[in-house]
Amino acid sequence: MMQNQQNPMHQNMHTGNVPQQMNHGGHEVFDVHEVLSGSIGAMDQYLMLRQHVKDPELMDILDRQYRFMQDEYNITVECFKTGQDPSKPTQSYKMNQGNDFVYGLTPSQPKKPAQSVSEFTDACISGMMLGCVKSGASMKTMAAMEVTNPVVRRVLADSVPNCIEMAYELSIYQNKHHYYQVPQLAQQDMQQLLNAYAPAQVQMQMPNNNMLS
């Protein structure tokens, strides 16, 4: 008699009547765990780096990005646990500076690993911050494509542009202070590559069925 009884959850999984908090696939659970662990790691690294920052501008970027990461992490945890819309909507990260890059290379000292934390510079710190948000963008993109829960998928997908915006902000900061230099191709090579593609035809030319017969 006991062997013929089915677990209610097992029945729900087959009928599709799954409780909201259980509305997750296996790959999704593992990938979201990785995303959340990565978010904690990024915030912990920001917290650890903060004491070594010297430039007030970089300190402002770090604090604003940390607060945004924390808020986004809480939203993700909430909807992951409940399977429902979070209590507050997702936001878009806005950087405070322009988007002008300085192009070209100037002579600089070769980079090498620091021998102690006392050697940490703002160039080094901003580079580590950049690595955190770039890693987050990759993990969230991969996870979003494995998610079955529509709310979690949307929250993760909304988070990816925020990681990109944070990375862009840090790249601009580094470029402005000559920590990150952007080379360009020769003008002739650049023009050739810019004109290497032509627009697709607006209307596809379908084959004539009469000709095929």
Global model pTM greater than 0.85 = no
Nearest Cα residue to 77 out of 49, 41, 125, 36: 36
Question: How far is the C-alpha of 7 from the C-alpha of 88, rounded, in Å?
Answer: 35
Higher pLDDT: 6 or 136? It is: 136
What's the Rg (C-alpha) of the chain? 24
pLDDT tens digits, one per residue of 40-94: 999 999 999 999 999 999 999 999 999 999 999 999 999 999 989 999 999 999 9
- CATH number at 20-109+119-208: 1.20.1260
Determine contact, residues 94/141, Cβ cutoff 8 Å.
Answer: no
